[in-house]
Amino acid sequence: MKNARFIIVLLVLILLVPAVFAFCFKRIPPDVIGIKQARWGGGGIIPADNLQGFKLGVSGYHLWHYLPRETHFLHFTKDRPVGRTLTSIDSWKPSQEIRTRDNNVVSVDISIPYHIIPGLGYKVVQDGLKHEYRDRVQSTVERVLRSELSTLSSEDFQETDSRLERTTQILPILNEQLAEFYCEAESVLVRRFGFSGQYESKLQEKQLLRQKANLDRALATQANEQKVVNMIERQIVAAEKALTAEWDYKLQDKASEYQVLLADIAAKAEIYSATKRAEGEAKRDIDIAEGKLALDQSEAIRNELRTSALNSEGGRILLALEATANLMIPNVTLNSDDPSVPMLLDLGTMTRMLVGKGD
């Protein structure tokens, strides 16, 4: 039983909470300004702009008014359909016909972006301008444009700087009057302007004459500048020739100077080479002679030492051994029975027999 009551209470809460929330709160979209009004009790329009989000507003007691938060556009042009829709932020009207200071009529296409001043949307509703403020803005813009643009001449319209300067001056004047409807213009954009066909023909002729005059002035300026250029070119050629001659002279002078220097260096080098070559050859001859003398002396000493060595007992033995070794006996007949006959293979006995016993 308790569970059933709990479920019933939960279901009632689930159903009542969204209903109570929807009854007590209002969702404001991001592209609008919400203005709250108390229906009774003398509250009237509550002086506050409500922006996006959920705002407290009891259904039945509070009445909500909505104004566009976006930038509005007021177009005066013949290129778009004429007419205006209340739910649209764009308004289209015919081009403005402005009579200039010099009594010409010019057709001007203009766009005016504007918006409701932040924080003052409630005053639009409070003053009863919720549905009329756009028409009031349009009529005010037309009046200001006709009044202020008429101070320009036909020439001023054709001069971009003059035209932009004037539209910049118009903006604060326009905003001063739009403040009555709690709106503010962001800029004044002149998109196109045109004169009547007859005046356009005159303008074209005038512009053609002006262009011809400008062309003549440009040609005269070009001729004068060409004279200056020709004079500068001649001056450059003369200066180039003078500098070329000067540098040729300097190069020739330096070439002669370096040729003399090179000849002097070559002569000194030749003398140095001959001197060093002669000294080298003389030293070579002396060294060769000294070397030959040393060789002769060493050869004499060698012969002397060899002779002295051979005259000794050992030398005689060496000579005997060499003689014995070189002894060529083609045919020898020995009597082996005779003990006085020496053995041929006994070199010592043969040596003593050939050279003697010695001292």
Q: Given pLDDT bands bounded at 50, 70 and 90, which one contains residue 25?
A: low
Q: Given pLDDT bands bounded at 50, 70 and 90, which one contains residue 21?
A: very low
Residue, of 194 and 15, whose pLDDT is higher:
194
97, two tokens: 């016909």
What structural domains does the chain harbor?
A: 23-68 (no CATH), 72-195 (3.30.479.30)
The neighbour count for residue 69, using CB atoms within 10 Å, is 20
Does pTM surpass 0.75? Answer: no
| Model confidence at 258: pLDDT above 90 | no
| Model confidence at 77: pLDDT above 70 | yes
| Mean pLDDT score, 70-97 | 76
d(CA 181, CA 129): 8
Identify the pLDDT of residue 187. 92
Task: Give pLDDT tens digits for 286-324.
Answer: 888 888 888 888 888 888 777 777 677 777 677 667 776
